[in-house]
Amino acid sequence: MHEVGLCEGIVAAAASRAGDRQVRGLRVRIGGHLVDAGVIRQGVEVAAIGTVVEGAALDLVLEPLVAHCRDCGQDAPGDVPAAMSACARCGGVDIEMTGSEQVILESISVAATSEARPPQAAAVRAPVTEARA
């Protein structure tokens, strides 16, 4: 897995959902990846710099793969290759993988619009072109 791309994707998703509001916190569910929460946390922190997501608290939910047997109902850790092909308890092959590889931005919390963008922030951009002339 490419952690940098994953983290940038999380930040981009949160930023697009937030619009121009400052993101205070985000809740992300990562399924099926064997990831190090610390690595993701750090990656998101770095990817968020300069965006509305910068400084947001990250609530990370890691959800490992689960191999669910439709025959007997047993759930086994899905990161073991054998568990994907046959059930360890009944030998059934009707295995359903849950928690498959997906990254879900579950929710974000944003600051109130008024405190996110002070009124003078918009005006600062205007003189930029004149300064170069």
> In sequence order, what DSSP letters do the residues of the chain get, joined into one string?
--HHHHHHHHHHHHHHHHTTSPEEEEEEEEES----HHHHHHHHHHHTTTSTTTTPEEEEEEE--EEEETTT--EEETTSHHHHHS-TTT----EEEES-SEEEEEEEEE--HHHHS-THHHHHHTTHHHHH-
Closest approach of Cβ 94 to Zn ion, in Å? 8
Q: Say how many residues touch Zn ion, by CB under 5 A.
A: 8
Q: Is 15 in the site for Zn ion (CB under 5 A)?
A: no
Please, which of residues 42-71 interact with Zn ion by CB under 5 A?
Answer: 69, 71
Smaller CB distance to Zn ion: residue 26 or 87?
A: 87
Q: Is 92 in the site for Zn ion (CB under 5 A)?
A: yes
Smaller CB distance to Zn ion: residue 89 or 100?
A: 89
> Interface residues with Zn ion (CB under 5 A)?
69, 71-72, 74, 87, 89-90, 92
